[in-house]
Amino acid sequence: MEMTGAKILMECLLEQGVDLVFGYPGGTILNVYDELYHYRDRITHILTAHEQGASHAADGYARSTGKVGVCLATSGPGATNLTTGIATAYMDSSPVVFITCNVTQNLIGRDAFQEVDITGIAMPITKCTYLVRDVNNLADTVREAFAIARSGRPGPVLIDIVKNVTAEKAEYEPLPREEHIHSGRLANLIRRARTSSLKMPEPNQEDVNKLVEMIAQSKKPMLICGGGVVRSRSHEEFREFARRIDAPVAITLMGAGGIAGRDPLATGMIGMHGSHASNYAVDQCDLLIAVGCRFSDRVALKPATFARQAKIVHIDIDRAEINKNVETDHHIIGNAKQVLALLNQKVPQYDHSEWKEYVFSFPTETAYDENPNHLTPKQILHTIARLCPDDTIVSTDVGQHQMWAIQHFHFDYPGQLLTSGGFGTMGFGLGAAIGAKLGNPDKTVIHIAGDGCFRMNSNELSTEEFYKTPVITFVFNNHRLGMVRQWQTTFYEKRYSDTDPHRKTNFVKLAEGFGLKGYHCENLAQFQEAFADALKQKGPTWIECMIDKDEKVLPMIPGGGDINDIIME
């Protein structure tokens, strides 16, 4: 049947099972929004306060549900406002399809009003970008984009459609999602495109067998649970593998939930702000097996001495990650779920009790002053964990509060923690929390922020209020840019250059200005009372938690250092 490009786009979204999108309208995408109006009973659109908020909401939806998120924006500044969100999704391998519309074909390249080459801008921070100039190619382009976003190592894809294509007509033939890759039309497109993005590498059996032999020879094995375990939803296979080889497990920031935080084998976070147990175990082990881990500079701070006594094995779906940051002794290319299933078939049960006893002689969690007369991060997070349901989804921004959340809130399943690990995006958390709540309406969703991060995208509180999205935000307020100030304290002789902003924001009145309920807390008793009341509210709330300006994230290993450089106070 013949349809306009805008209608074809709607039908393709339905093919992909999309029923929720986030975005912000504008001139070049008006045809799409006009058609979306007619599909409003099947596709819900969430209007955010800013395109960046929409990008993070689509990302949070994708991470928490395991589905592909969708985000819409117009040309020019609308499209460029997405770039921070696109890069955030790219660095953390989150599957989001971003759809923008550009000026009409006859104006491309003429510096028309709100024209920008968004496909060129986004190319380094996406798996693939498309500029659709022919309405006859639109349907297959959308299908391919979704296939690439969710396949292999997941990630964002951008489709830019010139405005005239959304109005022009072409024949549209429905195609069930399971037939997309096998359809002749789409297969031809894929062959001409980046086919590697769609391939799922098959694990080499000899590589698997070699690792089985290495495990048999090891006396002090250690595992790292990375973001690949979370993205592939291979947590059950990973936990079985850890038990079979009876090895302690260190968790990267993105690996939280790949193994339960309270699991007897879990040693806590690894790296710059990782636990003593995790960092000492990696330093002392004789076999280190990293699953879905990039060995970033926040994990392997000093590659030359990282796991210096161990044979290092890397399991990853992306061949480009192998030996990129840390030289390995062995690797297996493949999806973590598939590789771990093969290993579990071959690995017998081991007992490394003596090694585990040594590892767990070191603390897995940082101790803080727990004076009830003032609030500490540990008090706040332990209270949240105690009062919230076990399956609560936690979204964070970036900074000290982010590290405290990983240290003290123990995550039990993939998608429970939403945080910007690779790109470190301040302002990520609120939009992500909105997306997560809309994608998981039956779960409690909380948002943990610092006062600096919160100011960056607090405009999305209007989105929360309008859609009555019951997210509870906790603002860790030290009136400082805490993490940067901590570095200035430790490494810059307390020269606090522009990290003490002296802003007098009244967060409770700000909440009321948005139509929300806010709370101000200075001690544990006030916090417990406020939180208990917030849990009863049906709409969004936030709680301002006053913490000391000199509260630090500890332990800390300086960038480029190793376990010998650890800072304790």
Distance CA 439, CA 4 (A): 29
Distance CA 131, CA 158 (A): 9
Catalytic residue among 113, 217, 219, 327: 113
- With vertex at residue 362, the alpha carbon angle to CA 357 and CA 366, rounded to the nearest 5 degrees, is 140
HSE at residue 506, side-chain half, CA atoms within 13 A, is: 5
Query: DSSP 3-state assignment of 291?
Result: strand
Distance CA 63, CA 382 (A): 24
Catalytic residue among 7, 16, 98, 163: 163
How many CB atoms within 10 Å of residue 480?
24
Query: Which is it for strands 128-132 and 157-162: parallel, antiparallel or unpaired?
Result: parallel
Distance CA 80, CA 534 (A): 36
Q: Is the peptide bond before 555 cis (omega within 30 degrees of 0)?
A: yes
- With vertex at residue 216, the alpha carbon angle to CA 214 and CA 219, rounded to the nearest 5 degrees, is 95
Greatest Cα-to-Cα distance within the chain, rounded to the nearest angstrom: 72
Catalytic residue among 67, 105, 114, 365: 114
CA 418 to chain centre: 5
Distance CA 297, CA 337 (A): 25
C-alpha closest to that of 232 among 315, 108, 348: 315
On whether the CB atoms of residues 267 and 247 are closer than 8 A, the answer is no
Catalytic residue among 3, 91, 254, 483: 483
Residue 220, token pair as written in the block: 């002090």
Residue 398, token pair as written in the block: 């970036």
**φ/ψ of residue 171, rounded to 5:** -75, 135
In Å, what is the CA distance from 515 to each residue of 352, 461, 508, 540? 56, 9, 11, 9
> Residue 113 catalytic?
yes
Residue 444, token pair as written in the block: 């409690």
Helices and strands (H, E) in the chain, number of each type: 23, 20
Contact residues for 197 (Cβ-Cβ < 8 A; gap 6+): 127, 128, 148, 151, 152
> Residue 483 catalytic?
yes
Catalytic residue among 15, 51, 460, 544: 51
Residue recorded with tokens 């984009």: 145
Residue 153, token pair as written in the block: 């190592």
C-alpha closest to that of 567 among 489, 498, 460: 489
Residue recorded with tokens 């951008």: 158
Distance CA 518, CA 227 (A): 34
CA 32 to chain centre: 28
Residue 304, token pair as written in the block: 């030359």
Distance CA 458, CA 453 (A): 9
Active site residues: 51, 113-114, 163, 483
